[in-house]
Amino acid sequence: MSAIHQATCTAPVNIAVIKYWGKRDTRLVLPTNDSLSVTLDQDHLRTVTTARADPHFTNDRLWLNGIEEEIKSAGRLDSCLAELRRLRADLESRDASLPKLSTMKLHVCSENNFPTAAGLASSASGFAALTVTVAELYGLGEDFSRSALSKIARLGSGSACRSVFGGFVAWEAGERGDGADSLAVPVAERAHWPDLHVLICVANDAKKGTSSTSGMQRTVETSPLLQHRIKHVVPARMKAMRDAIDKRNFAAFADLTTTDSNNFHACCLDTAPPIFYMNDTSRAIVQLVEEMNRARHEAGQDAIAAYTFDAGPNAVLYVREADIGTVLRAVRHYFPDADFDDTFNMLGAGAGASHRGEPSEQVLPVMPPSFNANIIPVHPSGSVRRMIHTRVGDGPRTLEHGLGDASMLDEEGMPKRTKRAKRV
Ligand code: DP6
């Protein structure tokens, strides 16, 4: 039997605290401003990808969560694969002993460990995992830095370029027309600020919203506020955010994160026609966090939480470890009965205990004296559908080369599981 050319890797989700919104070049995915994100822990949220090259394969094929996807010619996926093949062909031309993987078709199988129903965007972890896995299969790891790979992930989805690193990551917009200087760079390792926890509140929302790709283009074309954001808001905020992370200054981090999320959503509202990503539940979470922060400030303390929202209604809260229990209970009080897998044993029923379909305890935790408990009403059951507790995580991991236990492809190079996994 001939050798199996295959690799399996994982990549994390990232959530921006200074948002990317707008492209100056849609084909090369070059952004209009720098952005900065926090990588989340892959133990809780990640994409696993297996890629195999084989001379018997007749087409490039891709399966996402057990379902085959069409690979559009000259589409984003196609341009990632073309760039990776070009780099491999380059290696092969310099070393004749290398198998000609660049001429073989690929089978790629990719799965998220978080349910699609969680309502979390998976394009960042997905394109990062694809890029890192095919690069690993092609042996590009030694000659190419993670920043170099981030430029290829960027061609798939802008935010994906930041998922090639763990910890705190900046995407430098760059200036060149060919995108050579538009890449991700590490700002700080995950171990730099282990105190930072993340609580994702998945808001119930049946509507299918505007995709980030089309939404941001409409904002670029119509919003004067976006031009102000690009020139006058983001540059100073990037500096201040780097400084806040460097000093582990949570008060500054929280202030910058919430104001940048609000500025981004203001640009969406300034778009013609306007784009609404946040819903009533999102706005109520904003009011709750703002009131908790106000009461803390009045008691002479720092903010308790920072909120940020991407192109959808889900809130992502950044909270320090000492405060996470209070914030979790406050959200469970006002937004009862959310499904919650208790990864860090906050509720005392054991680490990983599953709280699903059961009423939450409905007790407001101890708050600073001036906290106004009537700031928002207790919402209908399930307004927040699910909560995920995670923290800052590491960068992509290589699980194996060849056909081992981690492989998502069988011996024939077909997915081991072809139906959508039911893990909701
Ligand atoms: C609001 O990376 O999904 O999450 O480059 O068109 O694929 P494309 O867009 P995408 O946009 C993400 C926008 C955001 C902010 C961010 O992640 O920085």
pLDDT at position 209 is 80
Q: Are 160 and 80 in contact (CB under 8 A)?
A: no
pLDDT at position 128 is 98
107-155 pLDDT per residue, tens: 999 999 887 656 676 789 999 999 999 999 999 977 789 999 999 999 9
Q: What percent of the chain has pLDDT over 90?
A: 89
pLDDT at position 315 is 97
Residue nearest to atom 1 of ligand 1 (CA): 310
Q: Is the pLDDT of residue 2 over 80?
A: no
Please name which of 419, 393, 400 lies closest in space to residue 40, comparing C-alpha atoms.
Answer: 393
Q: Is the pLDDT of residue 421 over 50?
A: no
Give the phi and the psi of residue 93 in degrees, each rounded to 5. -70, -20
pTM for the model:
0.95
pLDDT at position 360 is 78
CB 113 less than 6 A from any atom of ligand 1: no
Q: Is the pLDDT of residue 283 over 60?
A: yes
239-279 pLDDT per residue, tens: 999 999 999 999 999 999 999 999 999 999 999 999 999 99
Q: Which residue has the higher pLDDT, 96 or 421?
A: 96
Query: What gap in Å lies between CA 89 and CA 138, rounded to an integer?
Result: 9
Q: Contacts from 412-418 at CB under 8 Å and sequence distance 24+?
A: 413/52, 413/54, 413/57, 413/107, 414/107, 415/63, 415/66, 415/109, 416/109, 417/66, 417/111, 418/63, 418/66, 418/67
Helix (H) or strand (E) holding 35: strand 35-39
Q: Provide the token pair at 144.
A: 């190419």
Please name which of 36, 42, 308, 113 lies closest in space to residue 199, comparing C-alpha atoms.
Answer: 308
CB 159 less than 6 A from any atom of ligand 1: yes
Ligand 1: centre distance to CA 22 (Å): 9
Ligand 1: centre distance to CA 20 (Å): 6
CB 398 less than 6 A from any atom of ligand 1: no
Please name which of 248, 265, 258 lies closest in space to residue 292, comparing C-alpha atoms.
Answer: 258
Q: Is the pLDDT of residue 422 over 50?
A: no
Domains and CATH numbers, the chain: 5-189+397-401 (3.30.230.10), 196-391 (3.30.70.890)
Q: Is the pLDDT of residue 424 over 50?
A: no
How, if at all, do strands 105-112 and 61-64 pair?
Answer: parallel
pLDDT at position 116 is 66
Give the phi and the psi of residue 418 in degrees, each rounded to 5. -110, -5
